C-alpha cells in the first residue's frame, strides 16, 4: 500500500529561524526556515514542521532529512 504524502493544513512565515544540519565531515550547515507548516499525515495526526530551501532549490520538511539536527533562532 502506498503511503500518502502529508497534507499542509496551515502555514506561516518563519522569519528569524534556521534549520541546522550535520554534514558528513562533522560541520554544521544552517539554512533559513522559510515557513512553519502544520501537516497532517495519512492517519490524521498533525505536527508543526519547519520547511527550508536548501542548495537543491526546493522546500521540504527539514526533519525528513537524515542529517537534520534542530531548528534554532537565527
Q: Which of 6, 4, 5, 2 lies closest to 47 in space, CA to CA?
A: 6
Q: Residue 32: inside a domain, yes or no? A: yes
Beta-carbon neighbour count of residue 1 at 10 Å? 4
| For residue 1, pLDDT beyond 50 | no
Tally of domains within the chain: 1
Give me the mean pLDDT over the 9-13 stretch. 96
Give me the mean pLDDT over the 36-65 stretch. 86
Overall pTM > 0.75: yes
Q: Residue 1: inside a domain, yes or no? A: no
Q: Residue 12: inside a domain, yes or no? A: yes
Q: What does the CA dihedral 67, 41, 1, 56 come to, rounded to 10 degrees? A: -40
- Distance CA(48)–CA(62), nearest Å, equals 11
Q: Are 55 and 64 in contact (CB under 8 A)?
A: no
- Report which of residues 32 and 1 the model is more confident about: 32
Q: Residue 2: inside a domain, yes or no? A: no
Beta-carbon neighbour count of residue 62 at 10 Å? 22
Identify the domain containing residue 32 by its residue range: 7-69
Q: Residue 74: inside a domain, yes or no? A: no
Q: Residue 28: inside a domain, yes or no? A: yes
Amino acid at each position: 500500500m502506498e503511503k500518502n504524502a502529508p497534507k499542509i493544513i496551515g502555514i506561516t512565515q518563519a522569519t528569524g529561524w534556521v534549520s541546522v544540519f550535520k554534514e558528513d565531515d562533522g560541520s554544521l550547515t544552517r539554512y533559513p526556515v522559510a515557513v512553519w507548516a502544520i501537516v497532517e499525515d495519512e492517519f490524521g495526526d498533525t505536527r508543526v514542521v519547519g520547511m527550508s530551501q536548501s542548495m537543491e532549490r526546493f522546500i521540504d520538511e527539514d526533519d525528513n532529512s537524515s542529517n537534520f539536527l534542530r531548528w534554532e533562532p537565527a
